[in-house]
């Protein structure tokens, strides 16, 4: 911080600062103006801070929404490219949804056969089985209670049985 600005900040007048430093009052005035102006370079932003927040809020609420849909639903006077730039500034980058293979009847039957063959496995072993159609999130963020995961396995097998038209009770496993 410039010395003259410090003196002005302490409540001294231009004349007092001028005598202390030994410069003109115009130079002090210019120093204050220079510090007061924010540096602006480039083109003025088309979106306001409020618009940016609305764009971000909508993208977080609906992760699969496109920039065009955001622009149209918020009735923004900017291009879709600008909407994407604002999302990138908010660390919301574009993502492509994971493609999950569809299960055919024979896949389901093979899974059921595998489950029947390994019916006596302990829950610890079943936890290591990863079916291709289940969410990877279950394994990246496991539940705090290990018994919940065992129950989840029972649910998986029950759903598998339902798909084949048979019923399984968790106690049978």
What band does 150 get if pLDDT is binned at 50, 70 and 90? very low
138 and 152 Cβ atoms separated by less than 8 Å: yes
Instruction: Summarize the confidence of residues 124-134 as an average pLDDT.
Output: 73
In this prediction the pTM is 0.42
Helix axes 25-36, 14-21, angle to 10 degrees: 110
**DSSP secondary structure letter of residue 23:** -
Instruction: Summarize the confidence of residues 142-171 as an average pLDDT.
Output: 51
Q: Kindly compute the dihedral angle of the four CA atoms of residues 159, 162, 167, 170, in this order, to the nearest 10 degrees.
A: 0
Candidate from 59-63, 103-107, 109-113, 125-129 with smallest mean pLDDT? 125-129
Q: How many CA atoms lie within 13 A of 38 on its CB side?
A: 3
Q: What pLDDT sits at residue 138?
A: 44
**DSSP secondary structure letter of residue 173:** -
Q: Show the 3-state SS of 70-129.
A: HHHHHCCCCCHHHHHHHHHHCCCCCCCCCCCCCCCHHHHHHHHHHHHHCCCCCHHHHCCC
Q: What pLDDT sits at residue 132?
A: 65
- Examine the pLDDT at 137 and tell me if it is beyond 50: no
Q: What pLDDT sits at residue 54?
A: 95
Domain boundaries, the chain: 3-36, 49-89, 105-172
For 49-95, what is each residue's pLDDT tens digit? 999 999 999 999 998 899 999 999 999 999 999 999 999 999 998 87
């Amino acid at each position: 911080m410039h010395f003259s600005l410090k003196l002005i900040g302490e409540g001294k007048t231009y004349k007092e600062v001028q005598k202390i430093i030994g410069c003109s009052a115009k130079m002090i005035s210019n120093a204050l103006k220079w510090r007061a102006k924010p540096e602006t370079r480039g083109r003025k932003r088309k979106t306001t801070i409020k618009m940016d927040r609305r764009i971000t809020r909508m993208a977080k609420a609906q992760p699969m929404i496109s920039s065009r849909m955001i622009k149209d639903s918020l009735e923004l006077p900017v291009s879709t490219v600008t909407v994407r730039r604002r999302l990138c500034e908010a660390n919301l980058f574009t993502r492509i949804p994971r493609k999950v293979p569809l299960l055919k009847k024979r896949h389901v039957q093979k899974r059921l056969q595998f489950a029947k063959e390994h019916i006596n496995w302990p829950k610890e072993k079943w936890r290591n089985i990863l079916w291709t159609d289940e969410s990877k999130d279950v394994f990246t963020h496991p539940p705090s209670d290990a018994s919940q995961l065992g129950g989840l396995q029972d649910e998986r097998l029950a759903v598998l049985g339902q798909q084949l038209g048979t019923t399984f009770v968790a106690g049978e496993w």
